[in-house]
Structure 1
Amino acid sequence: MRLTNYNLGGGIMGRERKRILCVEDDLDSCDMLRVLLHEYDVVTANTVGEGLKMARAERFDLYLLDSRYPDGSGVELCRQLRLFDTETPVVFHSGLEGESDIRDAMNAGAQAYLVKPIGIDELEGNIERLLEPQPNPSRMDS
């Protein structure tokens, strides 16, 4: 039997909640993001290894990554995710703001790079934009 989560708080009644895998090594940040993104089903992992294990075992609609972990980097995690999941959007939420940090993350397969601290409106706006259904160009009429 498969259990389905439904968005009963702030969304359209009966729509399945989008699932976000938040890989963040700071436990307080994990808790804060879970509360701030309450309209989503936020699942957290604290290391690169945990994040990869969860991403391989379950389906997520978006990955929210930091840049540094005790066992590796967010860029390496993103590269590893892209080996088996090329479609799910990746958002970096990081304190690193150097051009090379941003470029490396985007080259690894991220769709967005947000520098901490970031307002919840900007974070939610980026997540909503990336989770919107994209038009299928092969089905569009000319």
Structure 2
Amino acid sequence: MPPRRVLCVEDDRDTCEVLRFVMTDFDFVTVSTIAAAHKKIAEGDFDLYVLDNWLPDGSGVELCERIRASGSRSPIIFTSAIGQRQDIDIAMKAGADRYLVKPYEPETLVKTVKELLEQSSSLAFKS
């Protein structure tokens, strides 16, 4: 079975490098803007998305809404340094499955990704 595809939309290079290092079990693709994310998504589906909430060309919420509007049921994880309840609620209403507040341990993201992919696989199997 080929590795699961994960798209990470994150504008902080250091974060991307750390995540790439710990996400070796996955086909882990990183981009730094919403525009680049749209191009990658147009090239093929992803099994899971990791979205920063604040990006140079818009918000992760907007991207999340577009992913959901396209019919994708792939899990979406938000990551942000802002952990205010209002921001979390907005992301969850847009279609996010989880919201991690930075800084978080990279292993926490790996665990969350594996958990959500497992849940997603079992739901797809039941459908």
TM-score (norm 1): 0.81
**Paired residues of 2:7 and 2:30 also in contact (CA < 8 A):** yes
Q: What is the CA–CA distance in structure 1 between the aligned matches of 2:59 and 2:67, rounded to whole Å?
A: 12
Out of 78-87 and 98-107, give the one that drifted further.
78-87
**Structure 2 Cα separation of the partners of residues 27 and 130 of structure 1:** 25
> Which of 21, 45, 54 lines up with 2:7 in the alignment?
21
Query: Highest Rg: 1 or 2?
Result: 1
The 4+ residue runs of structure 1 with deviation greater than 3 A are 135-138
State the Cα RMSD in Å.
1.4
Q: Give 2:109's aligned residue.
A: 123
Structure with more of its chain in helix, by fraction: 2
Q: Which amino acid aligns with 1:51?
A: A
TM-score, scaled relative to structure 2:
0.90
* Whole-Å separation in 1 of the counterparts to 2:34 and 2:10: 9
Unpaired segments of 5 or more residues in structure 2? Answer: none
Count of residues paired in the alignment: 124
Between the aligned residues of both structures, percent identity stands at 42
Q: Deviation at 1:86?
A: 2.7
Cα distance in 1, alignment partners of residues 113 and 52 from structure 2: 15
TM-superposed deviation, 1:57: 1.8
| Higher relative contact order, structure no. (Cα contacts within 8 Å, ≥ 6 residues apart) | 2
